[in-house]
Amino acid sequence: MNTLALEKRHTVELGDMRQNGILLVGCGGTGSFLALHLARLAWHLRERNGQSLPLTFVDPDRVELQNVGRQNFCPAEIGQYKAWTLMRRYNAAFGLDIQAHTQPFDREMAYQQRVRIVAGCVDNGAARSAIADAVLRCNGKVWWLDAGNHEFSGQILLGNSETARPQISPVMRACTDLPLPSVTHPELLEIHPRGELAGESCAELALRDAQSLMINQMMAGWMANYLTRLLVSRDLDVQATYIDLVTGAARSVAITEEAGDAD
């Protein structure tokens, strides 16, 4: 029997649903595929619920030949900014008003828009440190959904504060605070978290076939599932998910009052 089924799970409480903008930081391996899911989600909320979902894509990099096929880009887009390319594509496809920043993420970006969620698809500790700093300055009002992966495995982590354990409102019986991804896994902020592959980007790993062709799409799909459960069904009751493509396993950590470290 699944022991998680016996635990009292709690769903995440985002608060005011009128302010749910998403800032996608990193439009490469995972982010380029997540961009499509975000556009679909914005379309769904607008057409079905009349709800606006402001989207902003952030990435200073341009599309390179080595990105084509492994990331969500085609040869005609080589040389263009990744964030701008994805913005233009999905604005045209869905009639949206996605914004794009072609400079590195800055913590002030979280204040310039109605941002409730930062979707981090970055592959280095410096970028994650910048996101963590920005989220902490928002005092729990902004949530950080982080995806990270190695060759055939990865993790999805959600959090908004420095708390060590989930905080459950006694009135709503819902979760108002979760440990930041960098609290659950401090190694994410290390400059070279890849061990023997330290210093290599996802694109470089992919170029020499050290990374599965499907891992980024898998991570983007799981991130999209988190966001759909947060914004549409509003029943997200897990705080972390660990995926392994070799074994085919996916393990999630439920949000309970007793939950500690997600590892």
**Is 263 part of any domain?**
no
Assign residue 32 a region: left if phi > 0, alpha if psi is -120 to 50, beta otherwise?
alpha
**Is 70 part of any domain?**
yes
**Is 261 part of any domain?**
no
Band of pLDDT at residue 7, cut at 50, 70 and 90:
low
Identify the residue whose tokens are 């959904």.
Answer: 145
Average pLDDT for 214-239: 96
Question: pLDDT tens digit string along 175-196?
Answer: 999 999 999 999 999 876 444 3
What CATH number does the domain containing 42 carry? 3.40.50.720
DSSP 142: S
Average pLDDT for 42-59: 93
**Is 262 part of any domain?**
no
pLDDT at residue 200 in the model: 52
Assign residue 236 a region: left if phi > 0, alpha if psi is -120 to 50, beta otherwise?
beta
**Is 32 part of any domain?**
yes
pLDDT at residue 26 in the model: 98
Band of pLDDT at residue 2, cut at 50, 70 and 90:
very low
pLDDT at residue 18 in the model: 67
Average pLDDT for 67-81: 96
Reading the block at residue 90, the tokens are 């999905």
**Is 7 part of any domain?**
yes
**Is 232 part of any domain?**
yes
**Is 260 part of any domain?**
no
Average pLDDT for 85-108: 95
Positive or negative, the CA dihedral 70, 154, 222, 80 is: negative
Average pLDDT for 103-122: 85
Domain of 22, in residue numbers: 3-254
Question: pLDDT tens digit string along 116-170?
Answer: 999 999 999 999 999 999 999 988 889 999 999 999 999 999 999 999 999 999 9
Kindly tell me if the per-residue pLDDT of 37 is higher than 90: yes
Number of domain units in the chain: 1
Spatial distance between the Cα atoms of 107 and 100, rounded to a whole number of angstroms: 15
pLDDT at residue 63 in the model: 98
